[in-house]
A and B are shown apart, each in its own frame.
Chain A
Amino acid sequence: MLNIALVFKMFWRELRAQKKRMFLTILGIIWGTMSITMLLAFGDGLRSQLNKNQKGMGEGIMIIWGGQTSMPYKGLPRGRPIRFEKDVVDFLKKRIPEIEMIGGEYTRWGQSVANKNKMFNRMVNGVYPEYETMRNMIPEMGGRFINQLDLDLKRRVVFLGNELADDLFGAKTPREEIVGQSIEINGMKFTVIGVLKKKMQMGMYSGPDWNRAVIPATTFHSIYGHRYYHNLVVKPHDVNRTEFVEGRMIEELSGKYKFNPEDESTIHVWNFIENVKTFNNVMLGMQIFFGLIGGLTLLVAGVGVANIMYVAVKERTTEIGIKMALGAKRFQVMAQFMLEALLIAFIGGAIGILLSVIITKTLGALEFDNEALQWLGKPNISTTIAIVTASILGMIGIVSGFFPSRKAASVNPVESLRYE
């Protein structure tokens, strides 16, 4: 059907005959390819960076606060506060088997946390061991989080946020040396059992984890005497069932605390999973936007390809006429120009992708101290990006080759052969 060697020969001749124009056209495709791949790669890097940061607070969890009623219910007036007592945790866990983990969290602000002569006003949390997993409270090497024994014995032990640890002991002190040291919280001695491993955290409530002093819930209760949890942290078994679990919890809580389940001011839920979905949609929108910008740049380059192919058709009417005289069918005349356009797109695209890969790999290998640069994340050329770019390139090659080659097929052989 086609003599591929001859197709390449003709293309090669065209390449040499129109060096400058061909060079600029291919440059345009390279530029377009690079802009689309780089934009998508940075978008992808940004997405995974933000994703990582988001997960700093915990994966697949919900935070629940009690509010106050705004509707009278079963003879009870409005304005009644809803507060979570200790027993609510077991109550919910028993009633809703879809919950994997649940824990209450006591919170007290403005507590003096001191090491010798350094004193800071910080937030103190009283929590349970599940908190470690649910909230991604990973200790640095040599340390640990609060365990069941700490709770049972109401130990005076503390898990420090990494910045609080820096404040108390100086950023240079190795974390292993901090473990086992004593600090004072409101004048009471506490032993440090671990320091939070540095994490990126975007979502937060009450305050960032890196500034917290976390102690066992039982210890907290015995010191401060809080009757109520500040909030609950819930992790369902299945992230796809969070909405269901949220609904069930409101249902059960409304029965327990006697409020109208329709009353939205009673229970506040920060459904983190829903947030992630929204976030993913925002990121997807951004990626599409980036892709569109890159695609448009590539489209402009495609116009260049179409242009050079139109010139080629015009300059090669004799060749077209000869082929027609020898019995080339319409598509056989078109194929030459289609393939040449695709070849330009392919060459430019291959170089563009290669350069993009080199740039992203180089950037990926560099470590930035600058926080703004860190937020850019690591550009990443995924398979999807490669496929998207390649198919846009292919489409541009086909479209920019189609119209010129259709012109080629409409050449009148008699006239074109009369040229000589």
Chain B
Amino acid sequence: MNNTMIYMKDIIKFYNTGTVKVKALKGIDLDIKGGEFVSIVGPSGSGKSTLMNIAGCLDVPTGGEYILDGESVENLEPNELAEIRNKKVGFVFQNFNLLSYATAFENVELPLVFANIPAKKRRERAAELLDRVGLGDRMDHRPNELSGGEMQRVAIARSLANKPRLILADEPTGNLDSKSGGGIIDLFEELWNAGSTILMITHDQTIAKRTNRVVKLKDGLIVSSLENGNGNH
């Protein structure tokens, strides 16, 4: 698993917010191998989320080169980017971003629906994933009937639906108490051990220490990238 999963060369991203031009990313060089569990840290406004969105093809860079899993994402059509998000990437958000009126099961099923998986197969897959995150008995619950930790487990199950090569997590424990947060990190660790490539934004130093590399951002630039010495996958 030593192929390059993320290759970024001089990625910049500018936003036009009315009159002010915000330089969110000012030239990012990043290289993440398959099977890595990388945490991204930095003060708020340092460009972590922007980096994450670009890595997940939810946003496109203003300049620079980005190759995801051997495929250049430059000049791709919106529908092609959607295809990449659907098949290659799994998003986990701080605020879960579950559809509130859909059950846990239906939320997990959604990426499979977008991938045109036949109904029978996607039902099997969704049930299997919810089992895996320990929610096999809560499939028909809606988000408001679940605890924060459970909601995040649903979100993780959902991110895994189409067996993505890359999992992107934006402060997945930010809205959770430390106990359920710990459970979530255990789950990510499990996925890492099973071979997933994970990129995770976090504020929490103890969580960052559990990953194999910590990338530190400041003012839209990478200031350090340190191996934790536990990345022997």
Within the complex, what minimum Cβ distance (angstroms) separates B171 from chain A?
A: 12
Residues of B contacting A10 in the complex (Cβ-Cβ under 8 angstroms): 101
Residues of A contacting B158 in the complex (Cβ-Cβ under 8 angstroms): 326
Which residues of chain B in 95-125 are interfacial with respect to chain A, using CB atoms and an 8 Å cutoff? 95, 97-99, 101-102, 106, 109-111, 113-116
Q: Are B115 and A327 in contact (CB under 8 A)?
A: yes
Q: Verify if A153 is at the interface (C-beta below 8 Å from B).
A: no
Q: Are A326 and B53 in contact (CB under 8 A)?
A: no
Q: Verify if B48 is at the interface (C-beta below 8 Å from A).
A: no
Complex Cα–Cα for A187 and B87 (A): 105
Q: Which of B97, B101, B109 contacts A325 (CB 8 A)?
A: B97
Q: Are B106 and A325 in contact (CB under 8 A)?
A: no
Chain B contact residue count (CB 8 A cutoff): 31
Q: Which of B83, B98, B113, B162 contacts A3 (CB 8 A)?
A: B113
Contact residues of A: prevailing secondary structure: helix
Q: Are B82 and A329 in contact (CB under 8 A)?
A: yes
Complex Cα–Cα for A135 and B186 (A): 97
Q: Verify if A87 is at the interface (C-beta below 8 Å from B).
A: no
Given A9-B101, A328-B82, A329-B79: A323 and B110 within 8 A (CB)? yes
Q: Verify if B93 is at the interface (C-beta below 8 Å from A).
A: yes
Within the complex, what minimum Cβ distance (angstroms) separates A309 from chain B?
A: 18
Query: Which residue of chain A has the shortest Cβ distance to B93 in the bound complex?
Result: A417
Which residues of chain B in 51-97 are interfacial with respect to chain A, using CB atoms and an 8 Å cutoff? 53, 56, 58-59, 78-79, 82-87, 89, 91, 93, 95, 97
Residues of B contacting A318 in the complex (Cβ-Cβ under 8 angstroms): 97
Complex Cα–Cα for A56 and B162 (A): 74
Complex Cα–Cα for A6 and B116 (A): 15
Query: With contacts defined as CB atoms under 8 Å apart, how many contacts are there between chain A and chain B in the complex?
Result: 72
Residues of B contacting A327 in the complex (Cβ-Cβ under 8 angstroms): 82-87, 89, 111, 114-115, 162
Which residues of chain A in 1-24 are interfacial with respect to chain B, using CB atoms and an 8 Å cutoff? 1-3, 5-6, 9-10, 13
Residues of A contacting B113 in the complex (Cβ-Cβ under 8 angstroms): 1-3, 6
Residues of B contacting A3 in the complex (Cβ-Cβ under 8 angstroms): 106, 109-110, 113
Q: Verify if A414 is at the interface (C-beta below 8 Å from B).
A: yes
Q: Which of A13, A321, A323, A417 contacts B114 (CB 8 A)?
A: A323
Residues of B contacting A307 in the complex (Cβ-Cβ under 8 angstroms): none
Within the complex, what minimum Cβ distance (angstroms) separates B85 from chain A?
A: 4
Chain A contact residue count (CB 8 A cutoff): 25
Q: Verify if A420 is at the interface (C-beta below 8 Å from B).
A: yes
Complex Cα–Cα for A326 and B91 (A): 7
Q: Are A326 and B85 in contact (CB under 8 A)?
A: yes
Query: Which residue of chain A has the shortest Cβ distance to B170 in the bound complex?
Result: A417
Residues of A contacting B114 in the complex (Cβ-Cβ under 8 angstroms): 323, 326-329, 332
Residues of A contacting B95 in the complex (Cβ-Cβ under 8 angstroms): 420
Q: Are B85 and A325 in contact (CB under 8 A)?
A: yes
Q: Verify if A361 is at the interface (C-beta below 8 Å from B).
A: no
Q: Verify if A319 is at the interface (C-beta below 8 Å from B).
A: yes
Complex Cα–Cα for A332 and B79 (A): 10
Given A332-B114, A413-B58, A414-B59: A322 and B97 within 8 A (CB)? yes
Within the complex, what minimum Cβ distance (angstroms) separates B230 from chain A?
A: 30
Residues of A contacting B79 in the complex (Cβ-Cβ under 8 angstroms): 329-330
Within the complex, what minimum Cβ distance (angstroms) separates B180 from chain A?
A: 19
Complex Cα–Cα for A325 and B99 (A): 12
Complex Cα–Cα for A328 and B97 (A): 15
| B-contact bits for A325-361, CB 8 A (1 contact / 0 none) | 1111110100000000000000000000000000000
Query: Which residue of chain A has the shortest Cβ distance to B109 in the bound complex?
Result: A3
Residues of A contacting B110 in the complex (Cβ-Cβ under 8 angstroms): 3, 6, 323, 326
Q: 14 A–B contact pairs at CB < 8 A?
A: A3-B106, A9-B101, A9-B102, A10-B101, A318-B97, A322-B98, A323-B114, A327-B85, A327-B111, A330-B78, A332-B114, A417-B58, A417-B93, A420-B97
Query: 7 smallest A-B Cβ distances: which pairs?
Result: A327-B86, A327-B85, A13-B101, A326-B111, A3-B113, A420-B95, A329-B82
Interfacial residues, chain B to chain A (CB-CB below 8 A): 53, 56, 58-59, 78-79, 82-87, 89, 91, 93, 95, 97-99, 101-102, 106, 109-111, 113-116, 158, 162
